[in-house]
Amino acid sequence: METSIDDVTEDTGAPAGPTVTAADHADAVTDTAVPAAAPAPVATAPASLSPSRAGDFMQCPLLYRFRVIDRLPEKPSEAATRGTLVHAVLERLFDAPAAERTAPRAKSLVPGQWDRLRESRPELGELFTDDPEGERLAQWLSEAERLVERWFTLEDPSRLEPAERELFVEAELDSGLRLRGIIDRVDVAPTGEVRIVDYKTGKAPRPQYAEGALFQMKFYALVVWRLKKVVPRRLQLVYLGSGDVLTYDPVLADLERVERKLLALWEAIRLATETGDWRPRPTKLCGWCDHQAHCPEFGGTPPPYPLPVRAAESGGTEQGRMGPD
Ligand code: SF4
């Protein structure tokens, strides 16, 4: 999901800090292993991965470091917050009896869900502080309504009875790595077949990028398989921004492949944590990165790395920021 807030945290051993990422929707999972009053960040290899944080590392290791180790704050974005709002509306609509799950009813939920969101995340109030007349807010809300309305052209909620909504899942692999995340919707057919559904408020990717979009879904399928010993029959991405539905029917080999990929990723993260070598990987996505001021690619300096970093030549240690590129 690319336009909403994902606050899944990894078990880094680092103290909790303000983190708002623009990866997914409200995967708000608190890392309870983190002592709230710890004095300083400690760089510890993660014990768990979510699709968003795995995606961060694949996109740019330094971005992962900024989000997971340094816990640098990020400004809430209108697009990400709208994604969170739309997800909340789609979830709440299933509280109503099937016949009442109509587009007008769904749209009517938007203002109330926005109020709830603002109450639970006061920092979102800063999104519209420069909009005293409320024009931009009105436009933003009406765009959220338009996305909600488009859902009805793609699925018919009056014919759906989700087995789960906003389902937190977590499973441990044999290696000890824990995979965790929140699945938007799980449908279970009378035959027992499982469908995992994810809503996106952005547009569907071009076909050549579909594999990347499916990574998150295969991640969830792997977790479900690990938990229930059932390979989901279908993975379904619902793109409200463009009105597309992308589906994929996984087989066991897909999930085994994803598991191998995640283990390799975990090892790479562990290595970077130990060495302090978090390399920036500039792409056009840097335009959406909140951390350019700390990024060497943009003339910035990362915060001091909270771990003695092994010096490459002397074999000794020094308190460093990052290893040499
Ligand atoms: S600006 Fe780009 S290269 Fe730098 S940390 Fe952000 S994503 Fe990575």
Domain presence at residue 216: yes
Distance 278 CA to ligand 1 centre (A): 11
Q: Kindly give the number of the ligand 1 atom that is closest to the alpha carbon of 59.
A: 7
pLDDT band at 41 (very low <50, low <70, confident <90, very high): low
CB 288 within 8 A of CB 59: no
What is the C-alpha separation between 100 and 95, in angstroms, rounded? 10
Please name the residue whose Cα sits nearest to atom 7 of ligand 1.
286
Q: Does 157 score more than 80 pLDDT?
A: yes
Q: Under a CB-based contact definition with an 8 Å cutoff, are residues 43 and 64 in contact? A: no
Distance 193 CA to ligand 1 centre (A): 41
Report if residue 194 sits inside a domain.
yes
- The pLDDT score that the predictor gives to residue 303 is 94
Q: Is residue 202 part of a domain?
A: yes
Q: Are 72 and 303 in contact (CB under 8 A)?
A: yes
pLDDT value for 86? 98
How many A from CA of 267 to the centre of ligand 1?
21
The alpha carbon of 290 and the centre of ligand 1 are apart by a number of angstroms equal to 8
What is the residue range of 198's domain? 164-261
CATH number at residue 171: 3.90.320.10
- Residue 196 phi/psi, 5-degree rounding, is -105, 125
In a domain, residue 257? The reply is: yes
Ligand 1 pocket: which of 60, 64, 284, 285 to mutate (most atoms <8 Å of CB)? 60
Query: Is 5 within the bounds of a domain?
Result: no
C-alpha–C-alpha distance, residues 268 and 274, integer Å:
10
CA angle 40, 42, 43 (to 5 degrees): 150
- Give the C-alpha distances (Å, rounded to integers) separating 106 from 2, 144, 145, 148: 22, 11, 8, 7
pLDDT in tens, 57-83: 999 999 999 999 999 999 999 999 999
Nearest CA to ligand 1 atom 2: 286
**Rounded-to-integer distance, Cα 137 and Cα 70, Å:** 32
Residue 315 is predicted with a pLDDT of: 33
Question: How far apart are the CA of 179 and the centre of ligand 1, in A?
Answer: 25
Q: Six-digit token pair at 167?
A: 């389902």
Atom of ligand 1 nearest to the CA of 296: 4
pLDDT digits (tens, 9 = 90+) for 100-131: 999 999 999 999 999 999 999 999 988 998 88
Q: Does 76 reside within a domain?
A: no
Number of structural domains the chain divides into:
1
Distance 282 CA to ligand 1 centre (A): 6
With 0.85 as the threshold, say if the pTM is over it.
no
Relative to the CA of 291, which ligand 1 atom is closest? 6
> Which mutation among 65, 286, 290 tests ligand 1's pocket best, with the greatest number of atoms within 8 A of CB?
286
Q: How many angstroms does the Cα of residue 288 sit away from the middle of ligand 1?
A: 9
**Confidence (pLDDT) at 10:** 35
Does residue 145 form part of some domain? no
Instruction: Output the ligand 1 site: residues, CB below 6 A.
Output: 60, 62-63, 280-282, 285-286, 289, 291-292, 295, 297-298
Cβ count within 10 A of residue 78: 16
Asked, for residue 273, whether it belongs to a domain, the answer is: no
